[in-house]
Amino acid sequence: MTIETAGMRGIIGTAAARTNGAAHDDGAPWVSQPQTIEETGLDFSMILDLVVKAIYFAGRPAARQVAAQIALPFAVVDEVFAFLKREQLAEVVGSAGMGEQLYQYSLSGKGLEKAEEALARNHYIGPAPVPFEVYLQVLKMQSIREMRVTPQVVDTALSHLVLDDAVCEALGPAVNSGRSMLLYGGSGNGKSTITTAIGKMLPGEVLIPYAVDINGIIVKVFDPRVHNEIPTEQQERRGSPDNASGGERRRDRRWVVARRPMITAGGELTMKELELRYSPQSQFYIAPLQWKANSGILIVDDFGRQMISTKELLNRWIVPMEERIDHLSLHTGDMVEVPFDVLLIFSTNLHPSQLGDEAFFRRIRHKIEIPDPSREQFLEILSRVCQQREIPFDPAAGLYLVDAYYDRLGRGFKGCHPRDIVDLMVDICVYHGEQPAFTRRYMDQAAHSYFVSLQDAAREAKQQQQFGGLGAA
């Protein structure tokens, strides 16, 4: 049986279950656990290396412990143990209880040599990888391009925000495209909050492999820092489709059931993070950010302020953005093609003219401006913040804030100001041991504290003008 056939047999039930509108199926594709080494899609030698290394580092592990570590059922691992005993590479040295699964193993002299040979090939220890071909099949079934959002879904996800109708109307098609969008506008107007809401528009679960095998090369994919795993107790309530396996079978534990990835890269992003990371010591690879984000969302926050230029970043992603394929280099000089299956979101407070030219913007499908809130929207945000903090909202006090600290000073409204100012008022009230209240007394004190840096900046600019740009003596 070929790798492709083994993989197809494991996930064929999912294809049938998701044929009629994958967008409405929140469940992850089903991959049944293999029952034989052949069904794993891996070479016997790779599984042997994993087992030998597991015994080498554990000392005297039980067979069940080794099976759990490499995420394969005992029926598969038992074939390897039989080989180890037959070739006198390992022996049973004890038992932790009744049954072969609790037999404890130790490597012989020949086994230790075998372990050293395995470690010379690579230092990867953990769940067995899945064949790259099967990974591609699963990725296709849970593709971000298959997700569809409706106006109702968008409205629900954005209901806690106060936005222009034009913004809400533009976000739906941008999300449905499953490609790329640019969110731009002044800082503090909710771009980060909007990207979080977009993540809520795309519910559902996906499969993420711990690692993949590409012709004997191991690439680690699952990263607990950025992938949100579904708790095991919830996974146990999901049974295999009857038409997929002819009976009840467990999921393949080499895959993690997780929420759709939502990965953010900020100003610290470098070109190195966009390439396969290889260590000559460990001799295996770690997937780059965009690979880890497959089937989900990749956000480039503070776009234009990275350690790499916007031109470099765009040139790196021109082909992936257009062809949905990313070309990654191995340390041997070979290339591997990996699907670029992400909703790519660029978020910036810079003006688009500072980011690139016409060719640049042509490759970003959707451009959405997040404007400053209007006077009415600002007051609505202020009212909602007070309601969330369980503080009675006084409309007259709200109008006073707008008149005294915005209209008179020519200051523009920002979506984050109401939250920040109300939180400052709460801090002041708590300090004085008083019940938080939205009154002019506390408002003045909070506003003076909040806007002090802006006032100093304006004063400094005025002084520079008065002293010919040299500043005060």
The pLDDT tens digits of the residues spanning 333-383 come to 899 999 999 999 999 998 888 887 777 777 888 999 999 999 999 999 999
- In this prediction, residue 6 carries a pLDDT of 46
Residues 109-140: pLDDT tens digits?
Answer: 999 999 999 999 999 999 999 999 999 999 99
What is the C-alpha to C-alpha distance for residues 296 and 173, in angstroms, rounded to an integer? Answer: 16
Contact 93, 60 (CB under 8 A): yes
* Residue matched to tokens 């197809």: 8
Residues 3-37: pLDDT tens digits?
Answer: 344 444 544 344 333 333 333 457 889 999 999 99
Q: Does 470 have pLDDT greater than 80? A: no
Instruction: Name the percent of the chain lying above pLDDT 70.
Output: 86
In terms of Cβ atoms closer than 10 Å to its own Cβ (0-12, 13-18, 19+), residue 453 is exposed
Residues 249-305: pLDDT tens digits?
Answer: 789 999 999 999 999 998 889 999 999 999 899 999 999 999 999 999 999 998 988
Q: Does 201 have pLDDT greater than 80? A: yes
What's the pTM?
0.84
Dihedral class, residue 190 (left if φ above 0, else alpha if ψ from -120 to 50, else beta): left
Look up residue 304 and give its DSSP letter.
Answer: T
Please, which pLDDT band fits residue 236 given cuts at 50, 70 and 90? very low
In terms of Cβ atoms closer than 10 Å to its own Cβ (0-12, 13-18, 19+), residue 106 is middle
Contact 407, 400 (CB under 8 A): no
The helices-and-strands tally (H runs, E runs) of the chain is 20, 16
- In this prediction, residue 172 carries a pLDDT of 93
Burial 181-204 (b: 16+ CB within 10 A, else e): bbbbbbebbbbbbbbebbbebbeb
Instruction: Name the percent of the chain lying above pLDDT 90.
Output: 69
Q: Does 93 have pLDDT greater than 50? A: yes
